[in-house]
Amino acid sequence: MNHYDVAVIGAGPGGYVAAIRSAQLGLKTIIIEKDKIGGTCLNVGCIPTKTLVKNAEIVNGIRHAADRGIIIPEPEIDMPATIGMKNKVVNQLAGGVQMLLKANGVEIITGDAKTLSADRLSVAGQEISFGNLIIATGSSNFIPPIPGIDDPGVLTSTEMLDLDHVPESLAIIGGGVIGCEFATIFTSFGSKVTIIEMMQNIVPAMDKDISIMLKKSMKASGVNILTDCKVTQVNRLNDRYQVRITGAKEETIEASGVLVSIGRSANLNGLEALGLAMEYGNKYIKVNDRMETSTAHIYAVGDVTGKMMLAHVASSQGIVAAENIVGNKLVMSYDVVPNCVYTIPEISSAGLTEEKARETFGELLIAKFPMSACGKALAMGEPAGFAKLIAEKKTKKVLGCHIIGANATELIGQIAVLMKKGGTLTDIEETIYAHPTISETISEAAHLALGRPVHTLKGK
Ligand SMILES: Cc1cc2nc3c(=O)[nH]c(=O)nc-3n(C[C@H](O)[C@H](O)[C@H](O)COP(=O)(O)OP(=O)(O)OC[C@H]3O[C@@H](n4cnc5c(N)ncnc54)[C@H](O)[C@@H]3O)c2cc1C
């Protein structure tokens, strides 16, 4: 039986990063993947969706080109070619990850891992033993128990990424991040989209001002948004669907396609023999801030821990686990995690929402600087949105940043660095920002929060 210092189950962003770091630390490492290297993120998550979002942005740009004096005919979507382009990007990145694993000396084995005990597992007809195990088995689409939802024509995000046509109309069950990203993609491609969300707001985990602004923007682009509404039944009639809704509205939506995107559930198959402690309603593996499970030498990282289901969180946890295996005593902190939503306009955030900051810190300094007062945003023809900063009144320490508008997802990195170092509004105020850039909205928001705005009026 082959023995490894570290066995990693799952080659998503949690697992492959943990494996590479383990090998870099001199540990004999094997990674086991039953499907494709790169996991959800690379194959059916972050990367393919963002490739399609880019197409949506191009189509949108063409549609609004006439506003800039450029006359282009109405664009057409060749869906098979679009999916082909997406697959090319995914394959290139997956090949890159495979190369990195090999170059770092990580052994790769394809198969469905089944743990046998706290130091042995079986895969592809062989047994291997390990000194340490890192579980990075990720998550899968969650299908709620709604009558009719098991119809094979009701699609998950995974299946939507291989559609060979643009549906004439699309009902999206769930207005979270994934639902809103698909709404952006398919509205731009020409589908008539309806989002049905149970909560009061779409992207409900985001700062309320952001959710409200996104709803307004998406409605303006033609998305029908029903909040406070619950789907009770899905019926198929030939090649169309009837989606029955109760709540704020009682109605039946008709659509030629249905996407169910109401969350993800942890992949726990094959881990039963470990008898690990669980949390969050017994649905996710319980870990401490060193990514240790309830059993010594067994770690869990990524979506399977149910902490923050983001690729970059999974990767950070993977590094923490690997470093702790060699005794480096790293701890995971979730205080400043950038969170991005790739809608049009795009969204990013880090730190606390206004509500949470008020609850925790009491008196705050808050400012929102509008994109419509930013020269670069106007030049780009993207005046929608704002940058919002939230700081503790006493110390001026930045507690949260929430941006909606052009380049929002690229802006959040700088503020995350500042927040990680305990930076203040004054730190931002004293920094010179290049002109004209969208990042000036952050600088302007800091001036405004400190009561010294130049490019807007106090109290705005
Ligand atoms: C549509 C969509 C869009 C997303 N967009 C973003 C985004 O823009 N940004 C972002 O940060 N996050 C995004 N996410 C979330 C992100 O994909 C996940 O948070 C991330 O992939 C989690 O990484 P992971 O390593 O924990 O698990 P996964 O990426 O799910 O990988 C787990 C791997 O383990 C394998 N596996 C499971 N069980 C076994 C077993 N028993 N034996 C062998 N192999 C096994 C699986 O096949 C899988 O490949 C998106 C998700 C979806 C669905």
Residues of the chain with pLDDT under 70: 459-460
- pTM for this entry: 0.97
pLDDT in tens, 299-312: 999 999 999 999 99
Report d(CA 101, CA 411) in Å as an integer.
30
Chain-centroid distance, C-alpha 172? 17
Question: Which atom of ligand 1 lies at the shortest distance from residue 41's CA?
Answer: 17
The number of beta carbons lying within 10 Å of the beta carbon of residue 75 is 16
Pocket of ligand 1 (CB under 6 A): 9-15, 32-35, 39-41, 45-46, 49, 112-113, 136-139, 157, 178, 267, 269-270, 302-304, 309-312, 314
Question: Which atom of ligand 1 lies at the shortest distance from residue 111's CA?
Answer: 43
Q: Quote the pLDDT of residue 82.
A: 98
Please tell me the distance between residue 333's alpha carbon and the centre of ligand 1 in angstroms.
20
Pocket test for ligand 1, best of 47, 112, 137, 163 (most atoms within 8 A of CB): 137
Pocket test for ligand 1, best of 40, 90, 122 (most atoms within 8 A of CB): 40
Residues whose CB is less than 8 angstroms from the CB of residue 117 and which lie 6 or more positions away in sequence, other chains included: 273
Q: Quote the pLDDT of residue 412.
A: 98
Q: Supply the residue whose CA is at minimum distance from atom 53 of ligand 1.
A: 45
Residues whose CB is less than 8 angstroms from the CB of residue 361 and which lie 6 or more positions away in sequence, other chains included: 392, 393, 399
Question: Which atom of ligand 1 lies at the shortest distance from residue 302's CA?
Answer: 26
Please tell me the distance between residue 374's alpha carbon and the centre of ligand 1 in angstroms.
37
Report d(CA 199, CA 228) in Å as an integer.
5
Q: Quote the pLDDT of residue 274.
A: 98
Q: Give the helix/strand (H/E) hosting 313.
A: helix 311-325
Q: Quote the pLDDT of residue 249.
A: 87
Query: Catalytic: which of 64, 435, 447, 455?
Result: 435
Question: Which atom of ligand 1 lies at the shortest distance from residue 312's CA?
Answer: 11
Residues whose CB is less than 8 angstroms from the CB of residue 208 and which lie 6 or more positions away in sequence, other chains included: 201, 353, 354, 355
228: its two tokens: 């406070």
Q: Is 176 exposed, middle or buried (0-12, 13-18, 19+ CB in 10 A)?
A: buried
Q: Supply the residue whose CA is at minimum distance from atom 12 of ligand 1.
A: 310
Helix pair 440-449, 408-420: axis angle to 10 deg:
50
Please tell me the distance between residue 94's alpha carbon and the centre of ligand 1 in angstroms.
13
Q: Is 435 a catalytic residue?
A: yes
Please tell me the distance between residue 41's alpha carbon and the centre of ligand 1 in angstroms.
5
Question: Which atom of ligand 1 lies at the shortest distance from residue 301's CA?
Answer: 26
Please tell me the distance between residue 177's alpha carbon and the centre of ligand 1 in angstroms.
15
The number of beta carbons lying within 10 Å of the beta carbon of residue 326 is 15
Q: Supply the residue whose CA is at minimum distance from atom 15 of ligand 1.
A: 310
Please tell me the distance between residue 138's alpha carbon and the centre of ligand 1 in angstroms.
5
Pocket test for ligand 1, best of 17, 41, 43 (most atoms within 8 A of CB): 41
Question: Do 134 and 9 form a contact (C-beta atoms < 8 A)?
Answer: yes
Question: Which atom of ligand 1 lies at the shortest distance from residue 112's CA?
Answer: 42
Please tell me the distance between residue 49's alpha carbon and the centre of ligand 1 in angstroms.
13
